[in-house]
Chains A and B, each alone.
Chain A
Amino acid sequence: MPEVARAQPSVQVDTPSPRKLRLPAFSRELGLAALTLFIVILFSILYPYSFMSVANLNAILRNLAFQGILAIGMMMLMVGGSFDLSVGAMASLIGVITGRLLTSWNWPAPLAILAGLAVAAMGGFFNGFVVAKVRVNALITTLGTLGMFQGLALLIGGPSVPFEARFAQAKFLGVQLPVWLMAGLALVAHYGLAHTRFFRQYYYIGSNAKAAHLSGINVERLQMLSFTIMGVIAGFAGIVFASRLASASSTVGRGAELQAITAAILGGASLTGGKGTIWGAMIGVFFMALMQNVLIISRVSSEWQEIIVGAVLVLAVALDSVMNRKRL
């Protein structure tokens, strides 16, 4: 495994130290967390019964789990300077494949799920191979595979496939399993990205891939690995969501990729890479879900909801950018 510490003195690299890396991202996360808290308090006062109820908080969490799981993978990818537009289609495809194995082929649930995740890993690896080895732009590659995965999902599943493994409908402490799965995955990913030397290499790749390569980091291998992990996470999200619905819809992931990217950026990631944390992505996902929820609770019309959510997103990122510039 290449030594990250070796990277700094050996070449003249514009690679920030871990402390510097964390500080700006932390600020955005903190700002977003404060804004989120402010919205929660404000709407708790305005709508004490409909907003601040256990049932509503449960509904928010339950419905953000799918995007949340995808955002975890997306954040890992974006830290390394890449992104994946095929994750929504991959989620749909893996849900449908697993559903087919369960219902049409009568495979036992663990085996069907493992097979689904294996296909997801292959799909992710394919993306990574084309981006890292063939050197095709990630946008073009994953836009292409988005179409491929979506088409395959429709071909295999038609409109939808019954999903007989309903484990995601289980509850623990009153909260549905997908939320716990998302939280567990977030903890593991956070530990990996923040505390292991191996995954911290992605920060160096995202900051300056050429310098990272010159300092001995195997950029290609790590990029392929990050796409493979993203594929598996997307497949996992698809399986969990299909299990929650007891039905795998072949279009359920449409648009989910942009929501995951938006959540990651809100939570501190940068499209150019090198920045972001998992807990930032989690705050980003929660913030988006919260915004959508409070606008419905406060009976804002659909058209205005889109305007307000869009404006808040631009404002949040712009504010962070201005504050960062002032700090410099």
Chain B
Amino acid sequence: MSAKTGRTINRRQALQAGALGALGVFTGCEKAPQQKRSGADGTGRSYADEEYVWISANSNLPLFTAHDHPALKLVGEELGVKTQIAGPNSIDIPGLVAAIEQTAARKPAGMMVVGWDPKALVPAINMAVEGGVPVVCVDADVSASKRLAFIGTDWYDLGVRQGEAMIKALGGKKGKVALLGLIEQSIDQQAFAGFRSVVEKSGVTVLDPQQDRGNQAEAARVAAAIIQAHPDLVGMAGFDSESGPGMGQAIKEAEKAGKIVATCVEAEQQHLRLIKEGVLTAGVGQKRELFTYMGVKALFEIRHSRLRFTSDDGAAGVTPIPVNYNTGTYTVTRENVHLFLK
């Protein structure tokens, strides 16, 4: 073997080795197939190819990333199915409609839709259901659609809880109470109604709701102006996740802590710290984790439940899940805040 031939063979060998190495690298990049899990229905079947998609506008909202998304991942692991997050990162309803339609087109095992707009989402949800994709609404409902169930907080009830906390803290004091929230959202409107149903009965005047755009800086600004506008203000109630911290800031800066009763929705760490300081009186928390956790379970049941109500449930339009899941709320006050603080 000449030196030249030897070099040629060496080069060829090197190329072959390189090609094999590259092949190894690329095949190594692909994830190994998931371990076959024992199916959640006890049949031992694998459901690793089933995909359940959660779709929302503002899909990276901190509340979602802190509660809804981790629970979605958890339930996926428990059931051995794929879970996916989709939807625009802003309150973009056309974008949300497009996300629903595009997801439905690839025929996932089920879809959870957050009903940001109870009317605009109806055609997209109906199209998905008619196309054979089960859809449940989570967090906010689209009741006029063909969705199979709603899983979330009863916002009227949440308003009632806030109202009860307000009346208790006021202790018979009369005056005006202001409302803050995303006033265009139907869930906030339901909560306002629930709040009014309790508070107005006790002789307290409830002012028209004010828009805080779901933004803490805006909520602080609006709350500060309300405090100045109404010297006889005795309470404030906030109905989106940013209302509470914004109201708390305005109350603190106006040196009205303890003089104005403030209740809010959500019990995140920032809310809890303000409750502990005595700036906010009560926070009504949602069990948000249940939205996606129960959502995937409900969709999974639709596909795999062994319950039968008729000879052909599909044709009869009967599903093996409840139509409404009220995930409930909890109230945090200064007395029990230590249990929630991390």
Contact = CB atoms under 8 A, between A and B. Distances in A.
Interface in A18-54: 49-51, 53
Contacts of A256: 217
B253 A162 contact: no
A252 B208 contact: no
A215 interface: no
B228 A59 contact: yes
A293 interface: yes
A157 B215 CA distance: 16
A297 B215 contact: no
B228 A251 contact: no
Contacts of B229: 50, 296-297, 299
For B220, B222, B225, B273, the residue with the greatest tally of chain A CB atoms inside 10 Å of its CB is: B225
A49 B254 contact: no
Contacts of A60: 224-225
Given A63-B220, A245-B216, A255-B215, A302 B225 contact: no
Given A245-B245, A249-B270, A63 B228 contact: no
A251 B269 contact: no
How extensive is the interface on chain A, given as a class? Answer: 35 or more
B318 to A, nearest CB: 40
Nearest to A256: B217
Given A154-B60, A247-B245, A252-B217, A55 B211 contact: no
A228 interface: no
A277 B63 CA distance: 40
Given A53-B228, A247-B270, A249-B245, A63 B63 contact: no
A245 B215 CA distance: 13
A86 interface: no
A301 B183 CA distance: 11
B250 interface: yes
Contact of A55 (B220, B230, B242, B254): B254
Q: Which 5 A-B pairs have the closest CB atoms?
A: A159-B62, A59-B224, A63-B221, A296-B225, A56-B228
22 contacts: A50-B229, A56-B225, A59-B250, A150-B60, A151-B89, A154-B62, A159-B65, A159-B241, A160-B245, A249-B245, A250-B62, A251-B61, A253-B217, A254-B215, A255-B215, A296-B210, A296-B222, A296-B225, A297-B228, A302-B211, A303-B183, A305-B211
